[in-house]
């Protein structure tokens, strides 16, 4: 069973925090796992102090926008938390987290931590089962949803869609959902994190759709869509 506590940080935090105590409450409830969701880089600098205050054993600090958690700061946080004996993962984007890894190819990072894995059994990289009858999706089951709820939203909307159209429809539904990932070009993926997020969702569907007769064609990895039903350019 999970017990969830939350703390809303001040809306204005400077880019460089000299004294974290200026922005932290006197006390915070005890917790085994900290999930750090912030809008600005200044907030990310408070993570080690928050983890210490609550007695955390592990931290999940998603990177859905590089402005909120730049890669350099993520590296620093990883080192600081490791020195404190606290496990940490930095899934980029959040919906790339699984029970043993995070990020999408070619940036996959593997980890071992039971607390984080327990969370990732339920939230992270979408995993969806589909039931098909006569070439049409009859029902879906969410095995693991994205933390934002996009996986469930898309899976419910796919009911009644022909298998041949499901992958394209899933991509459109993802773009209509209020995704937390940035639309700014990411220097590590050479793509937007929103696009990476959409492809993670499509990954969740491809094997099952292929098993039910959908023909999938994949373009070379990079700033291009995985597409169905047409030959790759080149």
> Looking at the structure, do residues 77 and 131 belong to the same domain, yes or no?
no
Q: How confident is the model at residue 195 (pLDDT cuts 50, 70, 90)?
A: very high
**What is the pTM assigned to this prediction?**
0.86
User: Burial letters for 4-14: b for 16+ Cβ neighbours within 10 Å, e otherwise?
Assistant: eeeeebeeebe
Mean pLDDT of 207-223: 61
> Looking at the structure, do residues 82 and 147 belong to the same domain, yes or no?
no
Q: Which carries the bigger pLDDT value, residue 1 or residue 81? A: 81
Q: How confident is the model at residue 214 (pLDDT cuts 50, 70, 90)?
A: low
Mean pLDDT of 68-96: 96
Which tens digit of pLDDT belongs to each residue from 90-121? 999 999 999 999 999 999 999 999 999 999 99
Number of domains in the chain: 2
State the Cα–Cα distance between residues 55 and 57, nearest whole angstrom: 7
> Looking at the structure, do residues 142 and 212 belong to the same domain, yes or no?
yes
> Looking at the structure, do residues 155 and 82 belong to the same domain, yes or no?
no
SS3 content of the chain, % helix, strand, coil (to 5): 35, 15, 50
Which tens digit of pLDDT belongs to each residue from 15-53? 888 899 999 999 999 999 999 998 777 889 999 999 999
Q: Which carries the bigger pLDDT value, residue 157 or residue 15? A: 157
Q: What is the pLDDT of residue 218?
A: 45
Q: Which carries the bigger pLDDT value, residue 170 or residue 15? A: 170
> Looking at the structure, do residues 146 and 62 belong to the same domain, yes or no?
no
> Looking at the structure, do residues 57 and 134 belong to the same domain, yes or no?
no
**Percent of the chain scored above 90 by pLDDT?**
74
Q: What is the pLDDT of residue 22?
A: 92
Q: The domain spanning residue 220 has which CATH number? A: 3.30.390
Q: What is the pLDDT of residue 179?
A: 87
Q: At which of 73, 90, 107 does a domain end?
A: 90
Q: Is the pLDDT of residue 217 over 50?
A: no
Which residues lie closer than 8 Å to 42 by C-beta, 6 or more apart?
Answer: 13, 14, 15, 16, 17, 23
Residue 109 domain-assigned (yes or no): no
Q: What is the pLDDT of residue 212?
A: 75
> Looking at the structure, do residues 67 and 131 belong to the same domain, yes or no?
no
Residue 15 domain-assigned (yes or no): no
Q: What is the pLDDT of residue 38?
A: 83
Mean pLDDT of 163-171: 93
Q: At which of 90, 111, 139 does a domain end?
A: 90
Mean pLDDT of 49-63: 98
> Looking at the structure, do residues 86 and 176 belong to the same domain, yes or no?
no
Residue span of the structural domain in which 30 resides = 20-90
Q: What is the pLDDT of residue 208?
A: 81
Q: Is the pLDDT of residue 232 over 70?
A: no
Contacts 24+ apart (CB under 8 A), 133-142: 135/162, 135/163, 135/164, 135/212, 135/213, 136/160, 136/161, 136/162, 136/163, 137/161, 137/162, 137/163, 137/166
> Looking at the structure, do residues 84 and 142 belong to the same domain, yes or no?
no
**Percent of the chain scored above 70 by pLDDT?**
91
What is the maximum alpha-carbon separation in the chain? Answer: 63
């Amino acid at each position: 069973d999970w017990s969830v506590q939350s703390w809303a940080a001040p809306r204005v935090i400077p880019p460089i925090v000299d004294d974290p105590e200026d922005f932290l409450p006197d006390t915070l409830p005890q917790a085994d796992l900290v999930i750090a969701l912030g809008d600005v880089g200044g907030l990310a600098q408070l993570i080690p102090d928050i983890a210490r205050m609550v007695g955390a054993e592990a931290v999940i600090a998603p990177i859905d926008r590089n402005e909120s958690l730049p890669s350099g700061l993520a590296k620093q946080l990883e080192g600081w938390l490791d020195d404190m004996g606290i496990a940490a993962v930095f899934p980029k984007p959040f919906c790339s987290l699984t029970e043993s890894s995070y990020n999408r190819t070619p940036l996959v990072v593997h980890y071992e931590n039971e607390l984080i894995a327990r969370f990732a059994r339920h939230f992270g990289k979408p995993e969806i089962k589909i039931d098909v009858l006569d070439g049409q999706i009859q029902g879906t089951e969410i095995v693991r949803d994205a933390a934002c709820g996009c996986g469930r939203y898309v899976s419910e909307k796919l009911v009644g869609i022909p298998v041949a159209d499901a992958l394209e429809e899933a991509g459109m539904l993802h773009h209509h959902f209020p995704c937390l990932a940035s639309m700014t070009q990411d220097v590590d993926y050479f793509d937007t994190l929103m696009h990476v997020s959409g492809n993670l969702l499509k990954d969740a569907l491809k094997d099952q759709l292929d098993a039910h007769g959908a023909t999938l064609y994949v373009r070379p990895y990079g700033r291009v869509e995985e597409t169905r039903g047409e030959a790759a350019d080149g």
